[in-house]
Each structure stands twice: as structure tokens, then as C-alpha cells.
Amino acid sequence: MMLTVTLNAALDLTYRVPALVPHTTHRVTEVIERPGGKGVNVARVLAALGHEVTVTGFAGGDTGRILRERLADEPRVTVAFAPVAGTTRRTLAVADAATGDTTQLNEPGPAVTSAEWAAFLGSYEELVRRPGTTAVALCGSLPPGVPVGAYALLVRAARAAHVPVLLDTSGEPLRRAVAARPDIIKPNAEELAELTGSHEPARATRDARRRGAHSVVASLGADGLLALTPDGGWQARPPAPVRGNPTGAGDSAVAGLLSGLAEGLPWPDRLARALALSAATVAAPAAGEFDRATYEDLLPRVTVTGRPAAA
């Protein structure tokens, strides 16, 4: 069983319009509403790959209730959100059919009290120590009130339980958590540059490892994924660009990496899976799902170059 943590979960709304034109009225052709937040998206993709997964984090108010109810209907997903007095946020994606581009609007999360944070931390430690927990993904932003060092605490708790942990966040929460030595971090190019001060990806991944991350997998957009690990370094490249909604593409990459870790796949295979899932998510209608036909088509055509570390 894998565990995903989404401290700032959301209810995702996707509006499709023929063309997005500023300062005009739009007729929406389709509305998609589903549970969201980075770790929730990761969990849904893991479940679609056949893995049992527990989702936790915070959920509150009517939006949080809808979030729980929708996730409870997902096969192979167990819901373990901690309650908060505030209301879970919503995110709005406006998908432009004419260009294939998407405009994203994200609400702030609910304010979390110190008592609510302490209660969550206790339940998280129980979940991560539960027999059968094989890996943990810590994903996304921190809602107001959660300490900036929260992910560092969660990384240390997972490592104390001897459970591998993947971290996907940014800014100061990432900076502090890297020092707690997560097994994998998955920043994008901008987040990696912010962490290290270097805009050269190869140099930045080396610096991120020196700061404490065991393995670094950087998302480089159209250039694919760059990985530097104790086992070696590789770059995975897609066979061709995929147009569509990029929301959740990075989350699907996390699911690919986490499932590959749990299954004991070698790094090149993990990276190929992660990149194919990411691209197949761009082709899907909403975040947290992937187009299986696109995934199966792309997976054998992902190019992975690099070499293992010297023995």
C-alpha cells in the first residue's frame, strides 16, 4: 500500500470553451468536477496502474465533503483525510479548444490551526508506520497555518519508519525538507533553479543532491526528465510533443516514479514510465487521469540516455 499526502487538497473544476477571449462572455461547452490537489492526482493514477493507495491531508467544509465522497468511489483508494474547520479550496481550469491551452485559477487553502496540524501529524505517523506501507509521496503547497518546515517533519517520520519518501513541492518548504534527506525530489526546472540558484539543470541536480536529496528527478518540459541518483544519471525524452491540458502532468510523473520504486524497476524504466504517464495526462480531459492508449503508445518510444554509476 502506498500513501499520498495532500495538505492543500482541492476540488478541481475544468471549464471547456471554444476560445478564451479576455473581456468577453463565454459559453462553457463542458464542465468536469473531480477531487484534486497534487497528491490526490498521484493517488488516482497509482490506482489506475493497479496499486492500493491511501490518501491523506486536510479536508473541510462542503467542498471537503464532496472531495471525500468522490474519492470514496474510486477503486483501490482509501480515504484518510484529517478534518479542518475551514473549507477546502477549489481550482478552476479554463481549457481553450481553439489553442489547446489552459488557464488555471487556484484558490488559497483553508487556515489550519496548530491543534489541527498536531492531530494530522499523529495520524500521519500511524499511517506511515502501518505494516504494508511501501512508499510515501508528499505533494503540493502548504495551506495557511501549516509550519513552513512541515515537509521536513513528514520526511523524517517516513525515514524513521524505513519507508521511502518522494517529495514534490517548491520554495522554502522544499528548501527545508531537502535537508531531511528525502529519497526522491521531483522539482520542475524553475523550482530546481530556485532551490539551487543555478539555471543549468545538470549543475542544479548535483547541487540538490549535495543539499540532502538522495535522488533528483527534474521535469524539463519538452526536454523530458533529468535524473541524478546514487545509481547513475539519465535523461528521458518524449518521442514528440503532446498538446492538451498540462494540469496534473507532473503528478502523473510522480505516480510513475513511485510505482516504479515500489515495483523495484531500474531507473531507466521508472523514468520512461513517468514520462509516458505525464504526456498521456496532457492528452486526457482532466487532471488526475491519463489517456491509456496514448500511454501505451508512448511508453516503448520514450528515449532514455545516460549510464549507471561506476561500481
Spacing of C-alpha 233 from chain mean position: 22
Position 287 scores a pLDDT of 61
Mean pLDDT score, 161-170: 97
Q: Alpha-carbon distance 120 to 56, whole Å?
A: 9
CA distance linking residue 294 with residue 287, whole number of Å: 15
Residue 116: is its pLDDT beyond 70?
Answer: yes
pLDDT band with cut points at 50, 70 and 90 for residue 241: confident
The pLDDT of 237-256, averaged and rounded, is 86
* Neighbouring-strand partners of residue 13: 33, 92
What is the average pLDDT across 116-138? Answer: 97
Over residues 30-85, the pLDDT tens digits come to: 998 889 999 999 999 999 999 999 999 999 999 999 999 999 999 999 999 999 99
Residue 248's pLDDT is: 81
Q: What size, in residues, is the chain? A: 311
In 3D, which of 183, 179, 141 has the Cα closest to residue 161? 183
pLDDT at position 283 is 80
Could you write out the DSSP letters of every residue in 233-246?
EEEEE-SS---S--
pLDDT at position 178: 97
Average pLDDT of span 118-146? 96
Take residue 270 and report the three cell numbers written for it: 521508472
Q: How confident is the model at residue 93 (pLDDT cuts 50, 70, 90)?
A: confident
Q: Is 227 exposed, middle or buried (0-12, 13-18, 19+ CB in 10 A)?
A: buried
* pLDDT above 80 for 23: yes
Q: What is the pLDDT of residue 244?
A: 73
Q: What is the mean pLDDT of residues 153-179?
A: 97
Query: Is pLDDT above 60 for 311?
Result: no
Active site residue 251: yes
Sign of CA dihedral 64, 65, 67, 71: positive
Query: Looking at residues 235-259, what average pLDDT do you find?
Result: 88
The residue type of 280 is: A
Percent of the chain topping pLDDT 70: 98
Identify the pLDDT of residue 182.
97
Alpha-carbon span 109 to 263, nearest angstrom: 34
Q: Which of 168, 251, 269, 291 is catalytic?
A: 251
User: What does DSSP assign to residue 203?
Assistant: H
Say whether pTM exceeds 0.85. yes
